[in-house]
Amino acid sequence: MSPAPRARRRSGSERAETKLTTETELTTETELTRQSPAWPQVSFQDLMATVEFRVGQRAHITVNSDVCRSCTTKDCVTACPADLFAPTSDGGILFSYEQCFECGTCYQVCNSEGAITWTYPDGGDGVVFRHG
Amino acid sequence: MPSELLDAIVVGAGPAGAAAALELARAGRSVVLLERGPFPGAKNVYGGVVYGRVLDNVIPRWWEQVPVQRWVVRRSTMMLTGSQALSVDFRSEAWGTVPYNGMTVYRGDFDSWLAGHAVAAGAELVTSTVATGLLRDEHGAVTGVRTDRPGGELRARAVIACDGVNSFLAKEAGLLPQAAASHHTLGVKEVLDLPAPVIEERFGLGPHQGVDIEMLGATGCIPGGGFLYTNADTVSVGIVVSLPGLARAKVRPEQLIADLKAHPAIAPYLRGSSVREYSAHLIPEGGYDAIPRLAVDGMLVAGDAAGLCLAAGLWLEGVNFAIGSGLAAGRAVTRAIGAGDTSARGLASYRRDLESGFVLADHKRLRRAPGLVLSDRIQQRYPGLLCDLAEGVFTVTNPRPKPGLLRLARRSAQRNGVRVSELLRDAAAGARVFR
């Protein structure tokens, strides 16, 4: 980004409330296109890094891997939007609670009674959505 | 926290809880409003539009103070295939002026604002506190809640459970089943940074004006839909999918959003944006037939806890239903306390109130809609049929003459595996469901 278009854009956005010039728009669009010529691939780690988690001491969800070993579908693994259920080599499940959205998908899709013990994090802990 | 007997405890400071607490406080009742997040709305996610008219008689001229992102003046329904898109696009200048129709918001702002009105009316808001269970007397009547604060038992004449889609209080009271995947959808959303002038240019909007685009055919083989709506300097894009469908398909939710963002009809809107926040939440979409009993002795349920999201295809509403039910619950508890009877019978005016108003009237009228909207043909075949038909109509195949609409329709139906008899049957079903 050269300094010139930046300055133009700033002066443009000051006027944005009343009148948008074509030039301002083109500049902004051009800048955006230059920043990302192709569709940007955001890694899942980067996606999760955008979310605020106030991680508590207590694991609010626990998984009994012994129960999971007899589960043939393991729906939690693909359905959890935070990707917190990892299959282990011995056929069980390794779960980490720190980046949980507290959505409830896992226990809703789980067919194995006793596999998932689900509670909310302690008051004030857990996910904090700013733009939900 | 107060140790004396309260008039009411409201669990959850989302729109249902804030509305309930507001009614109670205005009636002069002592009420504690519990919120497990650090602020109201911290745990909440929605998918497009908040319809504010339910507040007309509650907060006069609410539009002058509500923390709005954009007023929705454009509402678009899009049908997608991998390479086609057919839109029905409506806009109205009336929606951009008082009293407005719908708005986009950030739930942290909106829910905190509404809870602020309850506090101003005299409710006591206690944040960062989980209601971990119900207190009950020897007859089983609810008498209060346990919280995760030391010595944190709270007692009241009535409890209103507004603790959201996973409502563990409603489950403990036997009102909701422990799990019911088929009555729930998962919403997954990305909020993307885009400068306000770029949003206004790309979506054809003026300052403060917004658009809400709902999509069919955006979730592959999984029943559901996509959405895209504008905030002041971000756009929110996401998908809503049936839980059993998601589990069966073995597709990762973030992949569904990535596919939608890359669709040729959507990608140009989002070019150059970067992710500000990723989020996910369950939605109770079972409709009227999945709504639980709404009262037990000493307790009412409202909002998502009562399954009151309206997911009827043309209409996708939740926050207004939460507010409507919360207001009614607050009124019912006020009446019951006045009459000295907060048993389920004493609280029965709640359901009558909801049935005579929009909350249960709309749900009852549209009780078959969720099933129809998520049915196989609507989800998997009609978007392709309509897109193929549009492509046939608008493709000029000179030197051959135009094929005629009826032939095009028959060909599009055939190509998408739809029989004419099925079309007629679904049209009749649609007419019945949306009558």
CATH number of the domain at B278, please.
Answer: 3.30.9.90
Alpha helices in B134-195 (DSSP H): 168-172
Cβ of A123 and B179 within 8 Å? Answer: no
What are the boundaries of each domain within chain A? Answer: 3-35, 45-128
Using the Cβ of B32 and the Cβ atoms of chain A, whether some distance falls under 8 Å is answered with: no
Q: Is B424 inside any structural domain?
A: yes
Using the Cβ of B405 and the Cβ atoms of chain A, whether some distance falls under 8 Å is answered with: no
What is the distance between the alpha carbons of residues A83 and B55, in angstroms, rounded to a whole number?
Answer: 38
Using the Cβ of B429 and the Cβ atoms of chain A, whether some distance falls under 8 Å is answered with: no
Q: Which residues of chain B have pLDDT under 50?
A: none
Nearest residue of B to residue A9, measured between CA atoms: B197
Q: Cα angle at B349 between B24 and B294, to 5 degrees?
A: 85
pLDDT for the residue A35 = 52
Using the Cβ of B108 and the Cβ atoms of chain A, whether some distance falls under 8 Å is answered with: yes
Domain termination site, one of B348, B366, B384? B366
pLDDT for the residue A41 = 72
Token code pair at residue B384: 């392709």
Cβ of A103 and B281 within 8 Å? Answer: yes
Q: Are residues B17 and B49 in the same domain?
A: yes
Using the Cβ of B206 and the Cβ atoms of chain A, whether some distance falls under 8 Å is answered with: no
> Which of A105, A113, A127, A128 has the most B C-beta neighbours within 10 Å, making it the best mutation to test the interface with B?
A105
Q: Are residues B255 and B217 in the same domain?
A: yes
Domain holding B50: CATH number?
3.50.50.60
Q: Is B240 inside any structural domain?
A: yes
User: Taking Cα atoms as reference points, which of B193, B171, B214, B189 lies closest to residue B79?
Assistant: B214
B21-51: burial string, b at 16+ Cβ within 10 Å, e else: bbbbbbbebbbbbbbbbbbbbbbbbbbbbbb
Nearest residue of A to residue B244, measured between CA atoms: A109
Q: Are residues B13 and B140 in the same domain?
A: yes
Q: From the list B107, B165, B252, which residue is nearest A78 (CB)?
A: B252
CA B285 to chain A, closest CA, distance in angstroms equals: 14
Domain termination site, one of B340, B366, B392? B366
What is the distance between the alpha carbons of residues A66 and B10, in angstroms, rounded to a whole number?
Answer: 39
Could you give the number of structural domains in chain B?
3
Half-sphere exposure of B315 (CA within 13 A, CB side): 18
User: How many residues belong to chain A?
Assistant: 132
Using the Cβ of B207 and the Cβ atoms of chain A, whether some distance falls under 8 Å is answered with: yes
> How many CB atoms are located within 10 Å of the residue B98 CB?
8
Residue A1: pLDDT above 60?
A: no
Cβ of A132 and B46 within 8 Å? Answer: yes
Q: Are residues B28 and B162 in the same domain?
A: yes
Q: Are residues B143 and B271 in the same domain?
A: no
Cβ of A47 and B278 within 8 Å? Answer: yes
**Which residues in A lie closer than 8 A to residue B189 (C-beta atoms)?**
132
Would you tell me which residues 309-368 of chain B have a C-beta closer than 8 angstroms to some C-beta of chain A?
none
Q: Are residues B148 and B130 in the same domain?
A: yes
CA A29 to chain B, closest CA, distance in angstroms equals: 7
The H-or-E segment that residue B111 falls in is helix B107-120
B385-413: burial string, b at 16+ Cβ within 10 Å, e else: bbbbbbebeeeeeeeeeeeeeeebbeebb
* CATH number for the domain running over A45-128: 3.30.70.20
Using the Cβ of B167 and the Cβ atoms of chain A, whether some distance falls under 8 Å is answered with: no
Token code pair at residue B281: 């939440």
Q: Is B80 inside any structural domain?
A: no
What is the distance between the alpha carbons of residues B419 and B435, in angstroms, rounded to a whole number?
Answer: 24
What is the distance between the alpha carbons of residues B385 and B378, in angstroms, rounded to a whole number?
Answer: 10
Nearest residue of A to residue B276, measured between CA atoms: A50
Which are the contacts of B114, defined by CB distance < 8 A and separation ≥ 6? B15, B18, B19, B22, B40, B323
Q: Is B32 inside any structural domain?
A: yes
Helix axes B349-356, B319-338, angle to 10 degrees: 140
Per the structure, the complete domain to which residue B237 belongs is given by 182-284
Using the Cβ of B67 and the Cβ atoms of chain A, whether some distance falls under 8 Å is answered with: no
Q: From the list A32, A33, A129, which residue is nearest B277 (CB)?
A: A129
Q: Is B57 inside any structural domain?
A: yes
pLDDT for the residue A19 = 39
Q: Is B140 inside any structural domain?
A: yes
Q: Is B96 inside any structural domain?
A: no
Write the DSSP assignment of B16-84 as a string of letters: HHHHHHHHHHHTT--EEEE-SSSSTTTT----S-EE-GGGTTTSTTGGGTS--SEEEEEEEEEEE-SS-
Q: Are residues B46 and B164 in the same domain?
A: yes
Cβ of B277 and A40 within 8 Å? Answer: no
Domain termination site, one of B321, B336, B366? B366
Peptide bond into B99 cis (omega under 30): yes
pLDDT for the residue B179 = 94
Cβ of A32 and B127 within 8 Å? Answer: no
pTM here is 0.92
pLDDT for the residue A40 = 60
Using the Cβ of B1 and the Cβ atoms of chain A, whether some distance falls under 8 Å is answered with: no
pLDDT for the residue A14 = 39
Q: From the list B44, B188, B247, which residue is nearest A75 (CB)?
A: B247
